[in-house]
Structure 1
Amino acid sequence: MSRAADSADMLAAALDKASDEATAAGSAEIKATTSGPQTGGKPVVVAGLYSWGNGLKGRTWLKMDASALMGADGAAALKNGSSNDPTAGLKLLKYAKGVSKVGKEDVNGKAATHYHAKISLAELGDAAAIYESMGTGATDLVADVWIDDKGMPARMTNALGAVNVSMDFLSFGGRRRSPRRRPKRRPT
């Protein structure tokens, strides 16, 4: 096996491990920004506690109309094929050609290693449906991921044509203490 192949395998393993660790955490304090045709080209920012799996043990704190960001087809694809884990996109990097290590950077006060990849939608199989439903006409997803020194994602950015998504992971697992009163426990 060549050094390049060894290096690519090591990068893929590091990203896969980061995805597994983040998935196990069940929740993260995040700040996400999305922009694209569905948002009128203007950035939409969402910040707060994001939970997947059973990260909040069955409680619901936020419901979002995905069709407002992704269109009706994108929301349907998300509902039919996603775990709602925002770090699951790291697993898509196994389909990438030429994953590269960009270098060390500071992300939200944490040392992180920056990785860059370009992923052909044709390589994603069923997972491509969510991206194709956005109607961008793009054939490649461009992804950048920053992994902190604890092996957890610190930031992820994805670009698909005119659609851009950036997500900063401020902390994983548990809840941050807030001076604000939380709403009564009921579905929203």
Structure 2
Amino acid sequence: MKHTRVSAWAGITVAALAATTACGSQAAQKTADAVSHADTIMAALTRASDKTKALGSAQVETTTRLTATGGTPISMDGTYSWGDGAALDVQMDTKAAQMQTLQDDPKLTVKMVDGAYYYEIDPQADGPLKGKHWMRIDVAAVMGETGANNVADNADPTAGLRYIGASKKVKDLGEETMLGKKTHHYRGTVGAQEINASTNMTAAEKKAAIKALGTSGGSMTCDVWVDGEDLPVRMFQRGGGMEVTMDFLKFGATKPVEAPPASDTGDLTEQVQEQRDQSLGQ
């Protein structure tokens, strides 16, 4: 196994997994001052967020494109749940994840559960993955403690529908057909200026919100298409050198995501952590 490739494909996979909390931040859920039309929009977005949060899970399809590098889109489809913490059970393209050295199948199963990522692999001849069908990496080893906490604390993928209310640049783009459904299209853009202008946030909340935006390059644009049942059909985020699309195919009634057997899992957390520390000069 080529350990030098660990941080490369782990980083790409995490970029795709970031779609789950792309528009979310608990630190910035209070809305800013807004004109009346924005208040109406926020009421609609809040209804969508509340209803989605209560359902707790969905079958999803996501696509992530690293715009900064012109990278190939990374697609995933499967189950995402947020009712009892963030959890994923999805399939993605093995080549896009740069996992060909560990998985011959063109499709790769990826799970995120209990603070760790699990990748289904072919058993290796030696090393920590010898004879194992799964590879485990702590979320914190790849994203750092702050990033891992953000995933854990912001599991609901629609929490950020309140977040974009911190922007006066929120728009109602009217009715559109999306994935065969009649929907209403909304868009909001948030940056440090909008956060600082808010009179409904404390100084500490503003500081935390701006820090959260730092992971999106200092600003973020989020589009959402909401159907007649006040549920999101598609969410799209642009910011931080990424474009992320999440389609909600079906809500609720998904199977719980379970970690693979420990006896059939090799742990590469330490190796990934070491490479991350080296890349950060630690």
* 1:114 Cα deviation from its structure 2 partner: 0.3
Structure 2 vs 1, CA of residues 51 and 186 (structure 1 numbering), >3 Å: closer, same or farther? closer
Aligned twin of 2:170: 99
- Residues 121 and 141 of structure 1 are in contact (CA less than 8 Å); yes or no, is this contact kept in structure 2? no
What are structure 2's unaligned runs of at least 5 residues?
1-33, 90-110, 118-136, 196-205, 261-282
1:13-61 CA-partner distances (Å, limit 9, x unpaired): 11011111101100011111112269872211111111012289xx974
Shift of 1:149: 0.7
Normalised by the length of structure 1, the TM-score is 0.75
* Letter paired with 1:126: A
- Are 2:55 and 2:83, in contact at CA under 8 Å, matched by a contact in 1? no
Q: 1:133 to 1:86 in 2, by over 3 A?
A: same
* 2:148 alignment counterpart: 79
Aligned residue number for residue 173 of structure 1? 252
In structure 1, runs of 5+ residues without a counterpart are: 177-181
The C-alpha deviation readout for 1:82-109, integer Å capped at 9, x for no partner, is 3322111212112112211111111111
Partner amino acid for 2:38?
A
Secondary structure of 1:106's aligned partner: strand
Mapped to 1, the partners of 2:81 and 2:56 lie a distance apart of 6
The one-letter code matched in structure 2 to 1:133 is T
When the two structures are aligned, how many residues end up with a matched partner? Answer: 169
- Give distance in 1, aligned partners of 2:88 and 2:64: 22
Alignment of 1:17-166 (within 5 A): 17-36=47-66, 41-54=71-84, 61=89, 62-63=111-112, 65=117, 72-73=142-143, 76-81=145-150, 82-121=153-192, 123=195, 125-133=207-215, 138-166=217-245
**Once superposed, which parts of structure 1, at least 4 consecutive aligned residues long, lie more than 4 Å away?**
37-40
Greater Rg by CA: 2
**Identity value in percent:** 33
Counterpart of 1:105, as a letter, is: E
User: What amino acid sits opposite 1:79 in the alignment?
Assistant: A
For residues 89 and 141 of structure 1, what CA distance do their matches in structure 2 show? 11
